[in-house]
Structures are given as structure tokens and as C-alpha cells.
């Protein structure tokens, strides 16, 4: 039936077009098939990047499209690098990135190591642990916002039961000291399973005969962990850190849903500042310059980190 369909298509193809198709090489045919995808990527990713670079050198405002656009040179970049509020937002972002990566890596690797023991019911627990990662950030944000409510939230009552503090005194989202940690807790809860999966793949890739040889040499479990498990799983751990670091540097949806950058500007990360400059102050050129600086920072740090990762893999 497939051959008959192919014959019908061949008969229906006009002769001039059929001659052209027969004359195309395999390489040309491959380019013919992938060219629509390349054009789509250029339209979605590359063009907006170059357009943002152009806007970053201008005074363009999206809410005033008919206004004369002036070339400001590097003035936007100079203002950003000299703006104290921008540096505070970058420090807040670095705080989030550090603590979320640290907690997610420690908890994720520990869970992966426990599940790799293949105890009874490990498949069920693996599926249960993966549930937070499958949820939409909007669902997670609203769910935890409800849990953090001091009057009716379960989180406040649990903390009150453990510490004896009245539930109404536990203001997770409106307290200057607690608000950053409330976001770190939610992000850790949601994305630790992702780190666990990558670490579990690393642990499962370690050959069993290495452990058997270590047992013959009478190496203790602690010695096997530090000499075999951790070094061989390290590239996978570093890969998880890279992925989560890039994503957490761009953190927006969770902060916007839980605190909106407040109280005050305590949780105002770089992405929140960028949104406010672009869509509240309508400083499109200024915000484009800030976006380019963030892109260069992430790209540069990721490039350095990948080089370090390659050196670890070559050991």
C-alpha cells in the first residue's frame, strides 16, 4: 500500500519539478528540509537579539512609537553600570542563584543516591518526588502563596506547631527577612527533582565492576563514595548546576507570583527590574541595554563553566 501511494505521488508530480528534485544532491535535499526550521529560528531568536542590540543604543520608547529615535551611543550602558538599584538587583539575583543551586544540588544528589539503592518501592517514590517538576509555575506559585497565608496557610501552622510562634506572626511573603527565603523554598521544592534525575543518571552510569573491585580491595562504603561515586558523578552534578544556574539567573515567574519584587525591593531580582523598566517606565532602549548586559554576563559565565566541566570530564 505504501508503494502504491508513492507511485501515485510520483505520477501526480509535474515533470519539470520531478526533474529538478532528481537533480538535487543528498546534501542539497537535507538543506531543503532543514531550511524552514532555520528560518523559523532566525525569526524567533536571532532577529529579536539583533533588534534589541540596536534599540540598546537608542532612546526608543515602545509607548511612543512615533517619536524621533535618537542614537545615544553607550549612554544607556553607562547609566546601567552606574545605577545603584541595578547592582542591588544583581546582588539579590546572585543571592537567589547561590542558595537555590546549593540546596537543590545537596538535596537532589542525596535523593538520587538513596533511590539508586533500589529499595522496595523506589519506583513509586521516584514518581512521587517528580510531581512538583511536572506542575506549571503558575500553579506552584498560587499553591504556595495559599500555603504561606498567615491566617489559613498550612505552612504557618506547621511552623507554629514546631516553634510555638503564633501563626499570624509568621508573615513569609511580607517580612523583609523571610520573603527571599520563601521564594528559595518554593524553587527548591519545584526543581530539586530535576537535579535528582540528572544525578541519578550519573549514578546509574557507573559500572558495577568498579564497586566489585573496590570490595575486593576491602574499601569501606565511605571510601567507595569519595573515591568512586562522587568523582564519577561529578560531571553530571556540574551539568545540573549549569542548567539550574542559567534558569535561576532568569528567575521571574515565581518571584512575580509570590512577592512581585516586594516587600519594597527585597526580592526584586534582575528580571523584575528589567520588566519594570520595559513595561512600567517604558524605557525600551534602556531595558534593551540591560537585557544585553544580562545576556553577556550569563553567556560569559556559562562559557567559563563549560570549559571547567570539560576539564573534569577529561580526567
49 and 82 share one domain: no
In a domain, 111, yes or no: yes
290 and 206 share one domain: yes
266 and 304 share one domain: yes
In a domain, 89, yes or no: yes
- pLDDT per residue rounded down to tens, the chain (315 residues): 545 654 554 555 565 555 555 556 677 777 888 888 888 888 888 888 899 999 999 999 988 888 888 999 999 999 999 999 999 999 999 999 999 999 999 999 999 999 988 778 778 888 899 999 999 988 999 999 999 988 888 888 888 888 888 877 888 888 898 999 999 999 999 999 999 999 999 999 999 999 889 888 888 889 989 999 999 999 999 999 999 999 999 899 899 999 988 888 899 999 999 999 999 989 999 999 999 999 999 999 999 999 999 988 887
* Region label for 73, one of left (φ > 0), alpha (ψ between -120 and 50) or beta (otherwise): left
218 and 284 share one domain: yes
In a domain, 62, yes or no: no
Per-residue model confidence (pLDDT) at position 190? 95
Determine the structural domain holding residue 250 and report its residue range.
77-313
In a domain, 69, yes or no: no
Q: Rg (Cα) of the chain, in Å, rounded?
A: 26
41 and 152 share one domain: no
Query: Do 147 and 155 contact (CB within 8 A), yes or no?
Result: yes
136 and 37 share one domain: no
Per-residue model confidence (pLDDT) at position 2? 46
Query: Do 90 and 315 contact (CB within 8 A), yes or no?
Result: no
> How many angstroms separate the CA atoms of 57 and 53, rounded?
7
171 and 229 share one domain: yes
In a domain, 304, yes or no: yes
169 and 307 share one domain: yes
> How many angstroms separate the CA atoms of 177 and 157, rounded?
19
CATH code for position 223:
1.10.3720.10
86 and 36 share one domain: no
In a domain, 70, yes or no: no
27 and 144 share one domain: no
Query: Do 156 and 172 contact (CB within 8 A), yes or no?
Result: yes
In a domain, 107, yes or no: yes
> How many angstroms separate the CA atoms of 53 and 285, rounded?
9
127 and 259 share one domain: yes
In a domain, 302, yes or no: yes
Amino acid at each position: 500500500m505504501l508503494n502504491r501511494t508513492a507511485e501515485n505521488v510520483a505520477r501526480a508530480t509535474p515533470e519539470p519539478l520531478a526533474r529538478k528534485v532528481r537533480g538535487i544532491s543528498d546534501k542539497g535535499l537535507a538543506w531543503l528540509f532543514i531550511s524552514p526550521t532555520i528560518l523559523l529560528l532566525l525569526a524567533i531568536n536571532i532577529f529579536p537579539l539583533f533588534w534589541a542590540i540596536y534599540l540598546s543604543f537608542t532612546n526608543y520608547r515602545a509607548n511612543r512609537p512615533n517619536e524621533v529615535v535618537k542614537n545615544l551611543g553607550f549612554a544607556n550602558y553607562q547609566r546601567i553600570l552606574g545605577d545603584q538599584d541595578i547592582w542591588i538587583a544583581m546582588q539579590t539575583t546572585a543571592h537567589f542563584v547561590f542558595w537555590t543551586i546549593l540546596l537543590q544540588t545537596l538535596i537532589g544528589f542525596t535523593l538520587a543516591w538513596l533511590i539508586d539503592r533500589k529499595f522496595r518501592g523506589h519506583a513509586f517514590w521516584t514518581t512521587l518526588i517528580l510531581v512538583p517538576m511536572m506542575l506549571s509555575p503558575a500553579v506552584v506559585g498560587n499553591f504556595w502563596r495559599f500555603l504561606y497565608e498567615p491566617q489559613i496557610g498550612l505552612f504557618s501552622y506547621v511552623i507554629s506547631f514546631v516553634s510555638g510562634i503564633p501563626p499570624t506572626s509568621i508573615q513569609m511573603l511580607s517580612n523583609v527577612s523571610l520573603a527571599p527565603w520563601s521564594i528559595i523554598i518554593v524553587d527548591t521544592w519545584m526543581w530539586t527533582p530535576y537535579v535528582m534525575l540528572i544525578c541519578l543518571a550519573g549514578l546509574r552510569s557507573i559500572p558495577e565492576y568498579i564497586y566489585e573491585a573496590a570490595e575486593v580491595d576491602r574499601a569501606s562504603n565511605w571510601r567507595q563514595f569519595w573515591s568512586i561515586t562522587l568523582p564519577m558523578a561529578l560531571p553530571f552534578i556540574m551539568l545540573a548546576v549549569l542548567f539550574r544556574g542559567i534558569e535561576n539567573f532568569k528567575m521571574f515567574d515565581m518571584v512575580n507570583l509570590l512577592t512581585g519584587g516586594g516587600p519594597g525591593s527585597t526580592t526584586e531580582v534582575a528580571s523584575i527590574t528589567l520588566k519594570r523598566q520595559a513595561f512600567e517606565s517604558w524605557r525600551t532602549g534602556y531595558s534593551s541595554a540591560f537585557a544585553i548586559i544580562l545576556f553577556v554576563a550569563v553567556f560569559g559565565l556559562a562559557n567559563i563553566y563549560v570549559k571547567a566541566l570539560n576539564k573534569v570530564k577529561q580526567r
